[in-house]
Amino acid sequence: MVESVQVELDELYALSTAILTRSGFSGAHAAAISEMLSTCQIDDCQSHGLFRLLMCCQTMRGGKIDGHILPVVEASDSAIVRVDARGGMSLLAVEAGMPLLIEKTRTYGIAAMAINRCFHFSALWPEVEQLSAAGLAGLAMVPSHSWVAPAGGKRGTLGTNPLAFSWPRQNQTPFTFDFATSGFARGEIELYLRAGKPLPEGVAVDAEGNPTTDPQAALDGAMLTFGGYKGSALSIMIELMAGPLIDDLTSMESMAFAEGTGGAPYHGEIILAFDPDHFSGGRVADNDARAERVFADILDQGARLPSQRRFEARARNTARGYVEMPAALHAELTAMLS
């Protein structure tokens, strides 16, 4: 059993900010990243919580990222928001462009934000949940590094290529999902490696293309998409939507750009937003009720909605004022400040 420690919620943000600023990130970037990591940790998303500080610092050591550069939101009279991260982390760029994306969505009914030239490592659900909190539906996708083999293939061509969606609900948590199109997220494999646990069958191949449950062999080989050809097709779609469509890098190009330095992948991100009021012809309340009947029938069968456990963890951890995280990881992070 993995030994855990209790960490107060305020300490999450403070520890993250201190490590990031010491690593070389500006106060603005450290704040945006820490907000994301703390949010994920409070929701018990271990693979995208403070564990990702290790990747942030590795990215800075790689020497390609600018930890102080500020993003630029480009002027536009269309429904498209373009934000140039200029070689910085994505989160400050999302923060800069999100108000304009919401404004344009309410004006046009549908709008999109293209973020270019960013390093990206984080979960997508906090971004689409900003849209659902504003009463909009949101969809986000990014490529990564070419760690994932296509269905029928043996080497990495595709990224983990996550897809996230959030649907607003009145007076309750939104319907949200956020998952990699690979069978496992890269961070989950790294956590299995740290814990000394074998992977499930069918999520990775080794460097020779043979099935493996060894986390290190998986990291040295290639991950597999979920759902065979269906997951592979979705992953390819994300390569196109978050790469060539917005004039940014594919996962193979991101891998080549890294030149073996490690750290977060470098590419773009696309976020789509939809205004239910426009799409429903103003009949939001009626259609919300129809959506709720779908959710109710799912729950009535004893099934869970996506993110249900995450929202339960958020409520539990917020109420008690602390989270539990692996003791070894907490020790490793605090040692980075000594």
288: left (phi over 0), alpha (psi -120 to 50) or beta: alpha
Give me the amino acid identity at 93: A
Instruction: Exactly one of 16, 38, 47, 146 is catalytic; name it.
Output: 47
**Residue listed under structure tokens 């999520």:** 203
Instruction: Exactly one of 95, 127, 129, 188 is catalytic; name it.
Output: 188
- Rounded-to-integer distance, Cα 59 and Cα 53, Å: 10
CB-based contact 73:91 (threshold 8 Å): no
Instruction: Exactly one of 29, 34, 48, 267 is catalytic; name it.
Output: 48
Strands 110-119 and 80-89, by their bridges, are parallel
- Rounded-to-integer distance, Cα 330 and Cα 324, Å: 10
Q: Which of 225, 74, 47 is nearest to 147 (CA)?
A: 225
**Residue listed under structure tokens 């729950």:** 299
For the chain, strand residue ranges (E) read 4-8, 72-74, 80-89, 110-119, 137-141, 148-149, 163-167, 175-179, 204-205, 222-224, 266-274, 322-326
Active-site residue, 47 included:
yes
CB atoms inside a 10 Å sphere around CB 27? 11
CB-based contact 273:110 (threshold 8 Å): yes
Active-site residue, 188 included:
yes
* Phi, psi (rounded to 5 degrees) for 237: -55, -45
Give me the amino acid identity at 119: F
Enumerate the active-site residues: 47-48, 188
